[in-house]
Amino acid sequence: MTAAIVVAGLINIETTLAIESFPLNYYPVTYPFFGVRSTVSGVGYNVAKALASLGHEVALASLIGDDRNGRWVRDSFVELGIDPQGLVANLSETCQSVILYDPSGQRQIHVDLKDIQQQHYPEADARRALAGCSLAAICNINFARPLLALAKQAGKPIATDVHVLANPDDDYNRDFMAAADILFLSDEGLHGRDPHDYLRELHGRYHNQLLVMGRGGDGALLYVAADRQFYHAPAVTPRPVVNTIGAGDALFSAFVHGIASHGNPYQALKQAVYFAGWKIGERGAADGFLTAPELAAKAG
């Protein structure tokens, strides 16, 4: 095992549906044989599973329901060899999602958060998880917000992904961006703006050490504050694309792995892009993860 990492994020039951194309035309019934699949997923699960695949000990901090789906989540982590102790069952129901995807890899995500945005993660459990970790991957969901201050107090580096960010002053994400040493986002919120300028603006406001913008088919763009330097890693697709869902989580996880393992952000991004490119050759958001030796052998 390499460095221990806390993962605080959404976990849900995900159902994927293969469709012929977007937009989806109306019809009363269809029979997509082997095109419907339900698994445990969500950003927190995807990141935890990816980091475990890459050899890290993972400490969980997440919320589930005291229901059948919640038991499914616990059992899934046990099967992965991840201690489910950090799963707190205080939701009325475990969260769920439905994802439609077409043969080109385009996807549409529908997420039912149940009552998770009104709940809080217990402070005692958060402190216990943080005590033995070297880094905290704290996803931008409400219950994880108090962990930002706790991680700072404990002197733990924080990595977060705010996904689609249209406004650098976004109220919901401001706390996460201000606390992050490693800040990830998608280019889907650019709306014509230059990605280099956007990352410079974010760094000027929040002073993050490392900023990474996932750019889909254009790869990923890194800004290293200490070097005042950008680095672009082109996208790679080492096997045919099946579904792009979870690509951003894979990119984030593998980059965090690289920083925690060797500390070189440029090598970390190069490997992360390959890790994400390999991952999208599978249907589910939490499928298709390479191990650390496999990633080193394939991506260099």
**CATH code: domain of residue 109:** 3.40.1190.20
Among 95-109, 152-166, 169-183, 260-274, the range scoring the smallest mean pLDDT is 95-109
- With b for 16 or more beta-carbon neighbours within 10 A and e for fewer, the 215-249 pattern comes to beeebbbbbbeeeeeeeebebeeeeeebbbbbbbb
Q: Point out the least confidently predicted range of 57-71, 137-151, 174-188, 231-245.
A: 231-245
Cα–Cα dist 74/53, whole Å: 17
pLDDT at 239 over 70: yes
Give a yes or no: residue 194 inside a domain.
yes
Domain assignment present for residue 30? The answer is no
Q: Which two tokens stand for residue 26?
A: 């109306």
| 171 inside domain | yes
Mean pLDDT of the chain: 96
What lies within 8 Å, CB to CB, of 167 at 6+ separation is: 189
Section 94-120 average pLDDT: 93
Mean pLDDT of 105-117: 92
Say which residue, 242 or 230, is predicted with more confidence: 230
The number of domains in the chain is 1
Q: Tell me the whole-structure pTM to 2 decimals.
A: 0.94
**Residue 29, domain member (yes or no):** no
> Given pLDDT bands bounded at 50, 70 and 90, which one contains residue 55?
very high
CA distance 72 to 262: 35
Provide the pLDDT for residue 243: 83
Tell me the Ramachandran region of residue 288: left when phi exceeds 0, alpha when psi lies from -120 to 50, beta otherwise: left
Give 70's pLDDT tier (boundaries 50, 70, 90): very high
Please report the pLDDT score of residue 284 as a whole number: 80
pLDDT value, residue 1:
62
**What Å distances lie between residue 54 and 6, 50, 206, 262, CA to CA?**
14, 6, 29, 13
Residues 6 or more apart whose Cβ sits within 8 Å of residue 260: 2, 3, 5, 56, 134, 135
Range of the domain at 107: 2-24+36-288
Statement: residue 191 has pLDDT above 90? yes
Query: Which residue reads 């090598």 in tokens?
Result: 267
- pLDDT in the model for residue 250: 97
For the cut 80, the answer to whether the pLDDT of residue 2 exceeds it is no
Nearest to 69 by CA among 43, 89, 49: 89
Flag whether 296 is in a domain. Answer: no
Flag whether 31 is in a domain: no
| Angstrom distance (rounded) from CA 187 to CA 212 | 10
pLDDT tops 70 at residue 3: yes
Quick check: is 277 in a domain?
Answer: yes
Residue 272 lies in a domain: yes
> Above pLDDT 70, what percent of the chain?
100
